[in-house]
Amino acid sequence: MDFDLFIILFLLGGWVSARITAGLRLPGILGMVLFGLVFGTFAGAAVPPLVWDLAPFLTTSALIVILLRAGLGIRRQTLARIGLPAILMGVVPCLAEAAALTPAFMWLFDLPLLVAVLAAFVLAAVSPAVVIPSMLALKDSGYGHRADVPTLILAGASLDDVVAITFFTVHLQQAQQRLAVAGGDGAGLEIELGVLAQVPLSIGGGLLVGGLLGLLLAWASCRTYRQIRATEKTLLLMVLALLLVKAAEWVHFAALLAVMTVGFVLLERCEQVAHEVALKLAKVWVLAEIVLFVLIGMAVDIEVALAAGWAGLLVIAIGLAARALGVLLALWLGRARLTWGERLFCVLAYFPKATVQAALGSVPLAAGIPGGELILAVAVLSILVTAPVGLLAIRGLGPRLLDGPHPARPAG
């Protein structure tokens, strides 16, 4: 297929499918994913190879737009008010799901411990591409204002991804080192506890790097406010965020957390510029959303997903149950003053899986990790099951479970 024709069909099909599903009172994202699934299945080998070469960069760019918007939507005062619950929401559900998934993978699929941990952290991440835009939409509509529930989920979900990706990266490096020594049969793939110390260092590094870059950008933006247009500021911010992600490949720090921190610091130090950039990024998201979700749909291999079978569905269910308990535990430990309806919404909002699973699902297979095909199959299956269901739950139940954009209700 000609590359120009592919781009036309890709963008037009993604937009039309989103409009159709929106007209059916279903999330537009669902239409994009389904279109990508059908388009990728039928186009097959006709898809230009350049598309798959560009896919990781395009997916990363779209993810950066999401995280920058998330950072630009979180105020320091709000974060201070929900700080402990947000941190716990970013750590406890992810670790609870991974802790439940690890023995499940070992029991149901007979994987070595280290491979089971890798598989667990592929699955143990909420989808920022589903959750963050949904929370921003609820915030803009005035839902959940009383307890800042959308902001709580925004901050928690972003940290959740950082924790999952960081643990995955650390254990992947360990697995590759062990395979180089022990051979490719998977023997000796056990966990060395000392490497876990890299996780807090990675997160701390992400906060430090993102904070410093955010301060530098805020200082420069406030002093060149009239000389540089908002579009140019947005372009510069995107390029620097991409550079952060690239730099994290050489110097290990949590790049995604750094990107979100840049937006947070920019809002705190130069609010006028932050609002301008946020408006521009909202427009960029119109295109980035199509690119991201159609690519996710195209990456799904139905045959691979079905290969996981009922055992794969059971693993996903075990993980979601543990994640739900983790969310409730995090809210309890953080003493969050939420109603039971708001707590239920937090549980549902943490269900969707898509972006991280699409990005990481094939990595163990490409790295030659034993069981890589199985990890990919379960990751794909988790996207097909949880993304549409979770998205429908957020869109359908959010306005019902959260306080609405109305004057305060009378007591009693």
Question: Domain of 388: which CATH number?
Answer: 1.20.1530.20
Q: Where are the beta strands (DSSP E) in 40-112?
A: none
Residue type, 132: I
Kindly state whether residue 37 falls inside one of the protein's structural domains. no
Rounded-to-integer distance, Cα 48 and Cα 3, Å: 6
Please spell the DSSP secondary structure of 163-224, one letter per residue.
HHHHHHHHHHHHHHHHHHHH-TT-TT----GGGGGHHHHHHHHHHHHHHHHHHHHHHHHHHT
pLDDT at 183: 56
Kindly state whether residue 30 falls inside one of the protein's structural domains. no
Q: What's the total number of domains in the chain?
A: 1
302 with 41: CB under 8 angstroms?
Answer: yes
238 with 213: CB under 8 angstroms?
Answer: no
Query: Mean pLDDT of successive 10-residue segments in the chain (412 residues)?
Result: 89 93 79 87 85 85 84 78 86 96 94 91 88 88 88 87 83 75 54 66 86 91 82 92 88 82 89 90 90 83 78 95 96 91 95 83 80 86 87 89 66 40
Kindly state whether residue 254 falls inside one of the protein's structural domains. yes
Residue closest to 163 by CA, chosen among 128, 116, 208:
128
Kindly state whether residue 24 falls inside one of the protein's structural domains. no
Residue closest to 215 by CA, chosen among 264, 276, 159, 158:
264
| Cα torsion angle, 118, 104, 154, 13, sign | positive
Helices (H) and strands (E) in the chain, counts: 17, 0
Kindly state whether residue 10 falls inside one of the protein's structural domains. no
Residues 6+ apart with CB under 8 A from 361: 122, 375, 376, 379, 380
Kindly state whether residue 150 falls inside one of the protein's structural domains. yes
Q: Which two tokens stand for residue 340?
A: 């039971």
DSSP class of residue 124 equals S
| pTM for the whole structure | 0.77
120 with 97: CB under 8 angstroms?
Answer: yes
pLDDT at 153: 92
Q: Which two tokens stand for residue 117?
A: 């941990």
62 with 238: CB under 8 angstroms?
Answer: no
Rounded-to-integer distance, Cα 53 and Cα 93, Å: 34
pLDDT at 317: 96
DSSP class of residue 127 equals -
**Burial class of residue 69, CB neighbours in 10 A (0-12, 13-18, 19+):** buried
Kindly state whether residue 7 falls inside one of the protein's structural domains. no
Mark residue 403 as left, alpha or beta (left: phi above 0; alpha: psi -120 to 50; beta: remaining).
Answer: beta
Kindly state whether residue 372 falls inside one of the protein's structural domains. yes
Rounded-to-integer distance, Cα 358 and Cα 296, Å: 6
Q: Which two tokens stand for residue 358?
A: 């699409």
pLDDT at 328: 96
Q: Which two tokens stand for residue 138?
A: 């609820």
Rounded-to-integer distance, Cα 106 and Cα 67, Å: 34
List the domain range (segments joined by +) for residue 363.
Answer: 55-401
pLDDT at 221: 84
pLDDT at 15: 95
pLDDT at 411: 41
Rounded-to-integer distance, Cα 80 and Cα 21, Å: 38
